[in-house]
Structure 1
Amino acid sequence: MTDKVTQTRIGAQAVLRIDNPPVNTLTAEVRRELLDAFDEAVAAADVTAIVIAASGQTFPVGRDIYDLDRPASPPDLRLLCERIEASPKPVVVALHGTVLGGGLELAVAAHHRIARVGTQLGCPEISLGLPPCAGGTQRIPRLIGADGALDLMLSGRMIDAAQALKLGLVDEVTDLDLEQAAIDYASVCGVRRTSDQRIRMEDGAHFLQSVEAHRAKSGSFVAVKIVDCVEAALLLPMEAGLTLEAEAFAECAASDVAVALRHIFFAEEAAAQVVAKDVQPVRHLGLVGGADVAILALNSGLTVTLVSPDRAEVEDALDHVGAHFEVAVASGMPEVQAVNALSRLSCMTEFAALAECDLVLDQSGDTPDPWWELDGDLPDVLARENIFSMRLQFPARGAKLAEITTHSDTQPETVAKVMQTGRQMGRVPLCVDMTEGGLIETLVSRMEVLMGHLAPVASSDILSAALSDVGLPAAAFTVPTAPLEDERLPVAAVRERLECWLINEAAYLISAGAVTQPTDVDVALVHGLGYARTRGGPILQADRITPFEVVQRIKRFALEDGSHWHAADLLQRLANERQKFRDLKKT
């Protein structure tokens, strides 16, 4: 055995401890070692019960999502869960942290579950367009009924240990030593297989009513499949239900929606790992301008010093922040919370006031004479390589993107610090290199240029419908309403042009080095403009169509529509080499 799973004997109990930091993901290696250790404990004559626990901050959060796009590596999680449930010896799991997805499926396959106070449990698979895959749709309804199971699986939300205890998902909640509590429980409990539990399904009519109520509200393919599987928990034998679940999982995993959701998940992971450095958290943020950023920072618990050499701007910033919290209190924020936030704000006119800050963001905008070049006696924290700007999206559509502008001489640790601060403020930070405007602002502007060309041959209604078909919210654009000369383009034709134009503009930005990797464009559009996650982004769509086909369409549009159509050099190169964006390396 390696250090991924260890086995300790405590009396007559075998404690199997998963240790796969940071979140104990159930990789193939972990599954294999856990199964080997489990079989050894079952075979040992001096072992009367088995405890499965985890080191570190959490019980396993689930399987490795990257495994979905790799060849299968045994043992699969379903087999592991079946082996655990079939154990002739009692199996108790000790739960802490966030017990999600495959981690929860592993837990409900055990005979008993002990959770530490504050543990969070959930089935987030639907956020990736997937149902549970290791018996969750069959075992969880047996423990908590159809209503509870479908609420967890269709919402993807988490519940805490107290709620889980009330539902029957866990057997005991403790604030004492978790592992010892599980060992003590294992010494007195017996075998109780979840597949044999029927008490929550005894009222079959009520169970089916719950199923039908959720089916009527299920608007997506995966939601319908989840409902079907939960229904099977009542109507089919366990093995048949597991088979149905496996078929549903395979069908969903291959769907365009699930592929798109995985794509954007991986793209977000890649964007977040641009700088994988552990840094000290920022507690005191300095701002040069930027009252809106000050509000976000104050709401996230930071101390803020805002500086502007213009006293009128300082007073305006104070008024703006104060007005925000007045409205917040009127809308329900506790007054003491607003007072506390405002007490952490200082507004000054001298740059020296920023000397004690952990990080400084320049929100002053583009100026012909940058302030850092005007003041020759600035504190070290204001060295040019330590200054960033953070471009935020503030529309009502709820965008969360924070475009972080970095510099070539910036240290990786400093980039990590600003990225972490963006996340702390509830934003999705993305490193960009834009000399003018922002990534989202540029893409919106360029899309509006194309719509201006299309306006004489496509009505505003058709343009809006085509935007929605592409995955973009029409409300984010100024859709032209020019008089129609010849309404010759239907929605499908406009959609095709909008999509190819967006892909082409993304290629221009990628080749200019505006982003670190091509998929950053997809992350930006999802979080900065409300692009539909279920479509993944223009980079995914380009690779689905293939750059070669996109270039062929652009050539056709140039003949049909005019000379404003030109394939970006990068897109043309990918087409010539029969490559895709995914073949490009990070810059």
Structure 2
Amino acid sequence: MSEAVRYERVGDVAVLAVNNPPVNALGHAVRAGLQEGIERAEKEGARAVLIYGEGRTFPAGADIREFGKPPQPPHLPELCNRIESSPLLVVSSIHGTALGGGLEVALSTHYRIAVPSAKVGLPEVHLGILPGAGGTQRLPRVAGTEKAIEMITTGRHVGAKEALEAGIIDRIEDGDPREIGLAYANELLEQGAPRRPVSEMPAPAPADFDAIYNATLKKGRGQLSPAVAVRAVQAASELPFDEGLRRERELFMELMNSDQREGLIHAFFAERAVGKLPELEGVSPRPVNKLGVIGGGTMGAGIATAALLSGLPVVLLEMSDEAAQAAKARIAGNLQGALKRGKISQEQFEQLTEKALTLTTSYDDLADVDLVIEAVFEDMDVKKKVFAQLDAVCKPGAVLASNTSYLNIDEIAATTSRPQDVIGLHFFSPAHVMKLLEIVVGDKTAPDVVATGFALGKRLGKVSVRAGVCDGFIGNRILATYRTAADHMILDGATPYQIDEALEAFGFAMGPFAVSDLAGLDIGWAVRKRKRAEGMDPRARDSTYADKLCEAGHFGQKTGKGFYDYSDGPRNRKPNPEVMPLIEADRAAQGITPREFTDEEIVRRYMAAMVNEAAKVVGEGIARRPLDVDVTLLYGYGFPRYRGGPMKWADMQGLPGLLADIQEWAKEDDYFWQPAPLLEQLVAEGKTFDDLNKEKS
């Protein structure tokens, strides 16, 4: 027997205990051990088999260490069919999570029992594939077509109670999974319960699969795996079981060989690698048991909400009692959302808002916090004043953090007597919802302060990315460049609406002009005015149409008009008729004759600008690795996850072709289209961005 599966005989029941910590992943040793265990039980005359997981969970899915490698037999589909075809009565006892292949193994057994806290699901679509070991054929037979499609296309984890109601499991019982499983198996034997292979159950009910496919494709903004999974469930409804399995396998292999699967797998591993930094090995974070937040606007309230939900008490500083009460109302509104979703109870809501949250108008009340985050207006003079006061009142060793989106952390830190304690923690709005946290490391930031930033990010449930100091750090610096590329295309003949449509068809949740409306056009206006005041390079192209919109009081959704008119609500946007005359006037003033753009050219230029600036960011060390850029754009900027991130997209497109396009466009504008030295180097050496990820991992 494989060491990953322990065989034990208890009376008439052969017990197969999966022991492959930490999550009993279905690696080769586990698959081989389960098959050997079934065969041994049959040879030794057992009447039933119990499969359960030792440790904290039932097999939780595939072994990620085998991703990208040829699988060794027994393959999971064959194992599941072998379990189901056993003449013995096979029971699975589920605790922890039975996900992906783990649920497929459970569905191949004849009866299923679970503890109340167990969760099941088929999340393969998040990796760009579909369940490939019978999940799309067996789940619809036990749960019905509608439930199976919902679970498979969303990848949602389902709790034991819901799974019982859906027919996925047969019983819920509290206790040790081995003991409740054994009792259930013996009870079934005593009752003379028959084998109950799911494959022999009636086919699930038919549905309007074409309509469901189209709706799923639209909802996924072009992601293929959920929609293709609908076709696999359709096979369960329309074909005999064995033919359905073959169709599932065909569709599985189509997705396995797709760029989307490659992009999603890259995103999966990049998220896990992004927080692993050599500089933090052996460095312990400072303890953080109490948090200070300065400023209770949308961002400050969101940060405070995230901290409260993580169990951290918060002291929130505002300029007046009225402002403090308004901040409390924002935080309470955020927490009401968590209450409605069942994330917290009414008692917890009251505890968080009345006890864990302290309001103040005095800096002295921040004297005992371990870490303080300022979230005040994006103005260097304002932030310097805040940090001077923090330096005066905060205890030694307290971490002083700025939530600045663009400003120089080193300049802020220089206003204090302890620049080693200063760090940038750039949250994304709404801060209690958005997953990305840019951790901006200054020249003098101490390693244990960096470690503290990452520890806080983990506690708040964020995906944290290390960034160096420059205007805009990783995300906003790159954003400024690809947004400028869009502005240039506007001057040259495209419309904001065509650009938004082309990029939303590419997979972005929103195009850049719709995003600007959501964020507030006044933010970009302030940045443009600051950069002009600092002195723009005379070679840089500039435009005035967005400034004119702001001068007219049109700041986007918050004022009802921006590039779009929101008089019918945010979901029913329509072009603002005032925009195109402003653009045409700008073109005329600059002597530009507009030309046509195809959607393909729009996407190519936009993405090339993004990748080129990202290559500069990596080349300068602002981002340590290309994957840091990918994670930043995926989690903070709505980049379509199934494309893996801009650097992965560039690798799949081919770096030589992208560089050639950039060099061609440089003939029109050699200031904006300056090829990144790193991009030129990689092309010259025949390397990819992913090669850099591997070198620096």
Question: Smaller-chain TM-score range?
Answer: 0.7 to 0.9
Cα distance in 2 for partners of 1:281, 1:21 equals 30
Partner of 2:477: 442
Where does 1:500-579 land on structure 2 (aligned, <5 Å)?
Answer: 500-579=608-687
The alignment status of 1:232 with 2:235, answered yes or no, reads yes
Residue 286 of structure 1: how far off its partner (Å) = 2.2
Over residues 338-358 of structure 1, what are the superposed CA-to-partner deviations in whole Å (9 max), with x where a residue is unaligned? 44223212356456845463x
Q: Which runs of 5 or more structure 2 residues have no equivalent in the other structure?
A: 218-222, 400-417, 522-544, 547-582
Partner of 1:259: 262
The alignment status of 1:295 with 2:305, answered yes or no, reads yes
Match of 1:581 among 675, 689, 693: 689
Partner of 1:321: 327
Partner of 2:352: 341
Cα distance in 1 for partners of 2:16, 2:443 equals 48
Secondary structure (helix, strand or coil) at the match of 1:133 reads coil
Cα distance in 2 for partners of 1:396, 1:420 equals 17
Native 8 Å contact 2:274 2:628 kept in 1 = yes
Partner of 2:20: 20
Cα distance in 2 for partners of 1:496, 1:37 equals 54
- Judge which range, 148-157 or 226-235, deviates more: 226-235
Residue 456 of structure 1: how far off its partner (Å) = 2.6
Counterpart AA for 1:476: V
Native 8 Å contact 1:363 1:389 kept in 2 = no
Counterpart AA for 2:228: K
Distance 1:558 1:489, change over 3 A: farther
Residue 435 of structure 1: how far off its partner (Å) = 4.3
Cα distance in 2 for partners of 1:211, 1:521 equals 38
Partner of 2:215: 217
Cα distance in 1 for partners of 2:489, 2:438 equals 30
Length, aligned pairs only: 576
Over residues 496-536 of structure 1, what are the superposed CA-to-partner deviations in whole Å (9 max), with x where a residue is unaligned? 22211110100111112222321121111121111122322
Match of 2:397 among 372, 380, 387: 380
Match of 1:483 among 587, 594, 607: 587
Over residues 88-131 of structure 1, what are the superposed CA-to-partner deviations in whole Å (9 max), with x where a residue is unaligned? 22211110112111110000001111100121111112222322
Cα distance in 2 for partners of 1:99, 1:320 equals 44
Residue 39 of structure 1: how far off its partner (Å) = 2.6
Cα distance in 1 for partners of 2:397, 2:657 equals 52
Secondary structure (helix, strand or coil) at the match of 2:667 reads helix
Partner of 2:7: 7
Distance 1:282 1:175, change over 3 A: farther
- Judge which range, 477-486 or 512-521, deviates more: 477-486
Q: TM-score, normalised by structure 1?
A: 0.87
- Judge which range, 506-515 or 266-275, deviates more: 266-275
Distance 1:327 1:380, change over 3 A: closer
Cα distance in 1 for partners of 2:425, 2:150 equals 38
Residue 280 of structure 1: how far off its partner (Å) = 9.5
Cα distance in 2 for partners of 1:225, 1:532 equals 18
Q: Which runs of 5 or more structure 1 residues have no equivalent in the other structure?
A: none
Distance 1:340 1:133, change over 3 A: same
Secondary structure (helix, strand or coil) at the match of 1:459 reads coil
Distance 1:317 1:441, change over 3 A: farther
Cα distance in 2 for partners of 1:562, 1:467 equals 25
Cα distance in 1 for partners of 2:138, 2:515 equals 44
Native 8 Å contact 2:305 2:335 kept in 1 = no
Q: TM-score, normalised by structure 2?
A: 0.75
Partner of 1:208: 206
The alignment status of 1:198 with 2:201, answered yes or no, reads yes
Counterpart AA for 1:23: V
Cα distance in 1 for partners of 2:654, 2:196 equals 50
- Judge which range, 138-147 or 283-292, deviates more: 283-292
The alignment status of 1:458 with 2:493, answered yes or no, reads yes
Cα distance in 2 for partners of 1:517, 1:449 equals 24
Distance 1:238 1:374, change over 3 A: closer
Native 8 Å contact 2:306 2:431 kept in 1 = no
Cα distance in 2 for partners of 1:185, 1:338 equals 40
Cα distance in 1 for partners of 2:464, 2:357 equals 23
Residue 212 of structure 1: how far off its partner (Å) = 5.9
Cα distance in 2 for partners of 1:245, 1:186 equals 31
